[in-house]
Amino acid sequence: MAQQRTSVPITRVERYVYEIPAHGEMRVPARIYADEELIEELTAPAAQEWSALQQLVNVASLPGIQKAALAMADVHPGYGFPIGGVGAFDPKEGVISVAGVGFDINCGVRLLATELTRADLEGKEDRVADALFHGVPAGLGSTGELKLTEKEIDRVLREGAHYAVNLGYGTPADLTYVEEQGRMSGADPDAVSRTAKQRQLRQVGTLGSGNHYVEVQVVDEIYDEEAARAFGLAVGQVTIMLHTGSRALGHQIGTDYLPFLERAARKYNIPIRDRELVCAPVESPEGRQYYAAVMAGANTAFANRQVLTHLIREALNKALGVAPESIRTVYEIAHNTVKFEEHEVNGRRKRLLVHRKGATRAFGPGRPEIPERYRSVGQPVLVGGTMGTASYVLRGTEKGMRDTFGSALHGAGRAKSRTKAKKEYPADRVIRQLKERGITVRAHGRSSISEEAPGAYKDVEQVVDIMAGAGVIAKVARLRPVVTIKG
């Protein structure tokens, strides 16, 4: 292994797994899923000013953390926690942190499968793109067709995707294939500020901006025939991937609770190595209140994606005459979450509070949380690429359950800041280059094209291969983009 350009001691403990041993204030080691190239990037001088590795060390120093602080292969610096970070905490000794969830609470991905093939789209890409562009509200400050009162928003916060289905947006069958069946227990609307609720009154059923998207894709390779059959995927099949979260409400919850947990950290004398890592004991009144607010934010995201699924079905019906009921939810999984789960620690089952910040749940075969249809092969894991690269369907493994608390990467991971990307990738050039590769793009803002250009991200093939090579996930299918709608 090449000599590292950092004072942080990093050793390779197995193929694609590196470790920073516990030292100083660290309570557990920090583990990174990477190859030599990614380790070089993470330890290069340019990466030290805002360091994902230092953030991981800080997480490993928090009270009650179990086994190791983890970084998936798509890791990059975030707010306090690195994006791609996982931390599991003993509820009696540990903490809950805003940084470990993020501001876009329960941001996630839903994959839809159609009965169409690539040939059915030939020559109709622009028609499909226009239908989705006009049929799915998107962009900064966009508003949806649902105009809710504060009383109705409280129902969204409690009921999640079930609220949308009860209004006729989709069917109960969708809920079977959503993480937690589209509703988190423990949500308390009273833990959410009036400001947050008012910001959401017109945003349920909106895509938003930034890295959120709707993408029409084609399955171009199958790696695991058994799992692909269980998930209902085949080569040549058209799929749709939806990526969005809790919109303004989720962001406001994060904003509201940062000073709240900062006061709690001082009150309980919790040592904080980074002011962005403010937190409260899990079982304190402050910790319980923040958890209840996060669950409410998560339910908002579930409802949002459910309404958007309905709008996508309507748009494809308009563009291609596709029967809405023929567009099936394969799975929906989130990647900015905190929740209680049971995992094995030191040979015994233990209830833990697991933070996944830009990381996705990836449960292995047999777990009861997985839909029965998929239980024998493991939970689907959805990894979004970029506008110009593949996305992946993976599955959880037994090794992943042992080594990562059943967690995996969520995307390619940023390699360049949005500011840098805007300078390097003019929108017109990106659109032209993608068109030359057979990818049709529509965007509600030109800056989102530049900021989300393929070159602004790591190589999704590389980061997926690292996680698969480590054995914590297994590849099932690769999806190639055909039409992309950006916020």
pLDDT, average across residues 426-452 = 91
Burial of 174: CB neighbours in 10 Å, binned 0-12, 13-18, 19+: buried
Residue-wise burial string across 116-136, b where 16 or more C-beta atoms lie within 10 A, e elsewhere:
bebeebeeebeebbbbbbebb
335 marked as part of a ligand binding site: yes
Q: How many CB atoms lie within 10 A of CB 32?
A: 28
103 domain-assigned:
no
Q: What pLDDT does 9 receive?
A: 85
263 vs 209, higher pLDDT: 263
Helix, strand, coil share (%) of the chain residues, nearest 5? 35, 25, 35
| Three-state secondary-structure class, residue 272 | coil
Clarify whether 410 is annotated catalytic.
Answer: yes
Kindly state the average pLDDT of the residues 277-305.
Answer: 98
What distance in Å separates the CA atoms of residue 321 and residue 35, rounded to the nearest whole number? 46
Give me the mean pLDDT over the 182-201 stretch.
97
CATH number, domain at 163? 3.90.1860.10
Question: Is the per-residue pLDDT at 293 higher than 70?
Answer: yes
What are the tens digits of pLDDT across the range 393-422?
999 999 999 999 999 999 998 888 888 999
Residues 6 or more apart in contact with residue 226 via CB below 8 angstroms = 377
Confidence (pLDDT) at 331: 98
* 412 assigned ligand-binding residue: yes
Instruction: Write out the two tokens for 132.
Output: 């989705």
For residue range 36-65, list pLDDT tens digits in order: 999 999 998 888 878 999 999 999 999 999
pLDDT band at 4 (very low <50, low <70, confident <90, very high): very low
Question: What pLDDT is attached to residue 283?
Answer: 98
Residue 52 belongs to some domain of the structure: no
**Contact between residue 238 and residue 218 where contact means Cβ atoms under 8 Å apart:** yes
The answer to whether position 139 is within a domain reads: yes
| pLDDT one-digit tens code per residue, 225-270 | 999 999 999 999 999 999 999 999 999 999 999 999 999 999 999 9
- Residue 47 inside a domain? The answer is no
465 labeled binding residue: no
d(CA 416, CA 404): 26
Beta bridge partners, 69, equal: 30
Local structure of 273: helix, strand or coil:
coil
Residue 1 predicted with pLDDT over 60: no
Q: Would residue 182 count as lying in a domain?
A: yes
Pairing of strands 237-244, 108-117: antiparallel
Give the residue-averaged pLDDT of 289-293.
98
Count of domains for the chain: 1
Question: Is 465 strand, coil or helix?
Answer: helix
Does the structure show a pLDDT above 50 at 177? yes
- The string of DSSP letters for 276-304 reads GG-EEETTSHHHHHHHHHHHHHHHHHHHH
Give the list of residues 6+ apart from residue 432 with CB closer than 8 angstroms, or none.
none
Whether 292 is covered by a domain: the verdict is yes
One of 251, 355, 410, 444 is an active-site residue; which one? Answer: 410
For residue 21, pLDDT over 60 is answered with: yes
In the prediction, which pLDDT does 79 show?
Answer: 92
Q: Is 486 annotated as a binding residue?
A: yes
pTM above 0.85, yes or no: yes
Q: Taking the CB of residue 255, how many other CB atoms lie within 10 A of it?
A: 14
Mean pLDDT on 78-105: 96
**Which pLDDT does position 7 carry in this prediction?**
63
Is the pLDDT assigned to residue 6 strictly greater than 60?
A: no
Confirm whether residue 211 is marked as ligand binding: yes
Of residues 171, 167, 135, 168, the one with CA closest to residue 152: 167
Q: Return the pLDDT at 232.
A: 98
Q: Is 130 annotated as a binding residue?
A: no
Strand locations in 82-146 (E)? 83-89, 95-97, 108-117
pLDDT at 389 > cutoff 80: yes
The bridge status of strand 83-89 relative to strand 237-244 is unpaired
406 falls within a domain: yes
Contact 450, 430 (CB under 8 A): yes
310 is in an annotated binding site: no
Determine the average pLDDT of the residues in 201-221: 93
Q: How confident is the model at residue 133 (pLDDT cuts 50, 70, 90)?
A: very high
pLDDT higher than 60, residue 284: yes
pLDDT at 448: 85
Q: What is the pLDDT of residue 447?
A: 85
Instruction: State the residue range of the domain holding 471.
Output: 108-486
- Using CA atoms, how far apart are residues 252 and 411, in angstroms rounded to an integer? 24
In a domain, 24, yes or no: no
Q: How far apart, in whole angstroms, are the C-alpha atoms of residue 386 and residue 72?
A: 18
